[in-house]
Amino acid sequence: MGRARSSFLVTVLFIAGNLLFCGIRHAHSLAVRSNLEIVKQWKLFSYEFPPHAPVSDPDYYNPTNIVPTSMTVAYDRIFIATPKLFAGVPTTVGYVSKSDFNESPRLNSYPDWSYTVSGRKSFNCSDSYLVSVYRMRIDSCNRLWILDAAVSRTFEDSEQTCQPKILVFDLNTDQVVRRIDIPKDVLRNQSILVNLIVDETTSTSGTCDDVFVYIADTVKPAIIVYDSARDMMWRLSHPAMWPDPDLGLVQVLNDKFFIMDGIIGLAFDTINGILYFQPLATDRIFSITRDALRAGPRRLHDILPIRFLGKKSSQGLPLYLAPQDGSLLFSPVTETAIVSWHPQTNKQSVLFYDVEALQFVADISESPWESGVVYAMSSKFNRFTSETVNRDEINFRLMRFKYPSRSAVSSQRLFTPSAPFKSDLYTNGNDTIYTRAEERSSSATYLPYSLDPNTKYFQLPSARSSLHTFAGNGIPATPAAHILPFGRGGYSYSLGVN
Ligand SMILES: *[C@@H]1O[C@H](CO)[C@@H](O)[C@H](O)[C@H]1NC(C)=O
Ligand SMILES: *[C@@H]1O[C@H](CO)[C@@H](O)[C@H](O)[C@H]1NC(C)=O
Ligand SMILES: *[C@@H]1O[C@H](CO)[C@@H](O)[C@H](O)[C@H]1NC(C)=O
């Protein structure tokens, strides 16, 4: 398909998508989600099953056991990774057509149903089967790199079904063009490979084959580096990639659960050659240079040069580097928000806050076909772990927004400054901007997350959804709120200013 024609189609689809979105909004009276546009949303996944699929067998298909961990947007399709966390996942990579105007289309199996091991009694791991996939990436040659962790029923018996591998598909033909088996010596017992970055910064061949790939092992925390030109792989580990036991308990609204996952979020700054990463069970973000990753295996006493970037308010999964200004986007799970952080200025800004739509954001990414557009996927994973999934509400959402979104956000200022709001709490900040806010006690029933009884927060009278906490486990959460480090571990913030 020619590129010129493609971009025309994309434009048409984009406009149509916007119109559709208005329709969805009215039909379901979704709250205004600032500038977050819902692209697709599902209660649970259903599939375009092949004939004779054993759909009534819950070990083959059990909709309340299927949770997406990422969505990858290509030119014409949206790929959805549903790892085999439990039994009952019929395929690990699904896709829907981007031009399907249905808000909750049925999924198909990528590239087709012959690639799934679900429902098969025996199969040969040397064949191109996909067992359990968490994340994938599209390279600049329009190829999809699918990282197969190959572990089935991770939360049940955690079976190592096959050896982990990467299958690279040409998206023009949907054929496997490359297979990279991850050798045993860079794996550990119970390794689970959940994320990858394809680093093309020194690729010269134009084929996207002479790249480096950085792979996150979340359970036996490490980064596995693959030098594709030399076909070599090595494993690098550091305490920064491990979970912090004090932060193993994750809270999303009323759901609390333990996840002791290590390194999971990866974002790559192609201009400065820096890989940012975060374990799940931590409140920290770290970075390492491309050169340190590429320097080859290290000896035991050789400490990896890891930079500690700073702290955030709660745990999170995805990291995304916005090429426009070098900001890192992440989503603190407890605050149900998407936040940007500029590593140079150390300034954090809440871009989006939504108690419903931003429950457990598992992926933030971009599509090579839509410049300046960022996609985010949320999954209500919290409900799946606590077995309180509600089949009648939206559980999975794919959203998108323009970045930078500052102009759009500031045009939606929540209030007009008038009389200054004063509080001893904000002595570190510029308190003249806390205007017309009401300070309240924390006993109100509509708190979106539990607070320490002594925590002070305030709510803007004009907007019920903009509740701002000050200390405890909350960060201020509203579009256009800026967070500044405050005192010991707290944050102060300002509203409606840059
Ligand atoms: C699996 O396939 C490989 C490659 O085709 C072959 O060498 C091997 O013998 C097969 N294994 C089994 C158990 O059939
Ligand atoms: C790997 O871990 C499993 C589960 O804990 C255990 O049963 C098995 O013996 C381990 N294998 C090796 C080689 O350590
Ligand atoms: C406080 O905010 C006001 C209004 O935006 C600004 O003029 C002033 O320079 C700020 N002061 C400090 C110390 O940042």
Nearest-angstrom CA–CA distance, 131 and 90: 10
Cβ–ligand 1 contact at 122 (below 6 Å)? no
Distance 130 CA to ligand 2 centre (A): 23
What residue ranges define each of the domains in the chain, with the CATH number in brackets?
3-410 (2.120.10.30), 424-495 (no CATH)
The protein residue whose alpha carbon is closest to atom 2 in ligand 2 is 189
Average pLDDT over residues 390-406: 87
Amino acid letter, residue 301: H
Q: From the alpha carbon of 430, which atom of ligand 3 is closest?
A: 1
CB distance 207 to ligand 3 below 6 Å:
no
Mean pLDDT of the chain: 77
Tell me what pLDDT residue 416 has.
Answer: 23
Which residue owns the Cα nearest ligand 2 atom 4?
190
Report the alpha-carbon distance of residue 453 to residue 451 in Å, rounded.
Answer: 6
Nearest ligand atom owner, CA of 497 = 3
> Is the CB of 190 within 6 Å of ligand 2?
yes
Residue 430 Cβ < 6 Å to ligand 3: yes
Q: Is the dihedral of CA 220, 268, 93, 282 positive or negative?
A: positive
Indicate which atom in ligand 1 lies nearest the CA of residue 124: 1
Of 60-64, 213-217, 341-345, where does mean pLDDT reach its minimum? 341-345
Instruction: Name the pLDDT band for 397 (thresholds 50, 70, 90).
Output: very high
Query: Residue 283 C-alpha to ligand 3 middle, in angstroms?
Result: 30
Q: State yes or no: pLDDT of 476 exceeds 70.
A: no
Side by side, the strands of the sheet bearing 222-227 are 193-199, 212-217, 222-227, 232-236
Q: How far apart are CA 375 and CA 72, in angstroms?
A: 9
Q: What is the pLDDT of residue 422?
A: 34
pTM above 0.85, yes or no: no
Give the ligand at the shortest distance from the Cα of 162.
Answer: 1
| Closest ligand 1 atom to Cα of 127 | 2
For residue 124 and ligand 1, the question of a CB distance below 6 A is answered with yes
- Find the length of the chain: 498
Q: Which residue has the tokens 């004063």?
A: 422
Give the residue whose CA is nearest to atom 11 of ligand 1: 124
**Closest ligand 2 atom, CA of 189?**
1
Q: What sign results for the dihedral spanned by CA atoms 216, 357, 38, 413?
A: negative
CA 125 to ligand 1 center in whole angstroms: 8
152, 185, 189, 190: residue to mutate for ligand 2 pocket, most atoms within 8 A of CB? 189
Range with lowest mean pLDDT among 100-104, 238-242, 350-354: 350-354
The predicted pLDDT at position 254 comes to 82
> Does any ligand 2 atom lie closer than 6 A to the CB of residue 498?
no
Residue 291 banded pLDDT, cuts 50, 70, 90:
very high
pLDDT for 321 beyond 90:
yes
122 lines ligand 2 (CB under 6 A): no
The mean-pLDDT minimum among 24-38, 73-87, 103-117, 407-421 falls in: 407-421
Residue with the bigger pLDDT between 186 and 458: it is 186
Peptide bond preceding 461: is omega within 30 degrees of 0, i.e. cis?
no
Cβ contacts of 19 within 8 Å, gap of 6 or more? none
pLDDT digits (tens, 9 = 90+) for 177-235: 999 999 999 999 999 999 999 999 999 988 899 999 999 999 999 999 999 999 999 99
Distance from C-alpha of 261 to C-alpha of 279, rounded to nearest angstrom: 6
4-18, 157-171, 368-382: segment of lowest average pLDDT: 4-18
Q: Is the CB–ligand 3 distance for residue 432 below 6 Å? A: yes
Rounded Cα gap, residues 471 and 451, in angstroms: 9
Going by pLDDT thresholds of 50, 70 and 90, the confidence category of residue 307 is: confident
CB-count exposure of residue 482 (10 Å: 0-12, 13-18, 19+):
buried
CA-proximal residue: ligand 1, atom 2 (nearest):
126
Q: What ligand 2 atom has the least distance to the C-alpha of 158?
A: 4
Average of per-residue pLDDT across 4-13: 31
Please check the confidence at residue 33 and state whether its pLDDT lies above 70. no
Angle at 121 between CA 120 and CA 127, to 5 degrees: 60
User: 388 in ligand 3 pocket by Cβ < 6 Å?
Assistant: no
| CA dist., res. 258 & res. 251, Å (int) | 9
Closest ligand relative to 420 C-alpha = 3
Nearest ligand to the CA of 124 is 1
pLDDT over 90 for what percent of the chain?
A: 54
Query: Can you tell me the distance from the alpha carbon of 414 to that of 189, in angstroms, rounded to the nearest whole number?
Result: 51
**What is the tens place of the pLDDT at every residue in 248-259?**
888 888 888 889
Question: Which amino acid is located at 171 in the chain?
Answer: L
Indicate the pLDDT class of residue 34, thresholds 50, 70 and 90. low
Span 358-381, mean pLDDT?
93
Q: How far is the CA of 454 from the centre of ligand 3 (A)?
A: 29
Q: Model confidence over 370-389: pLDDT tens digits?
A: 888 999 999 999 888 878 89
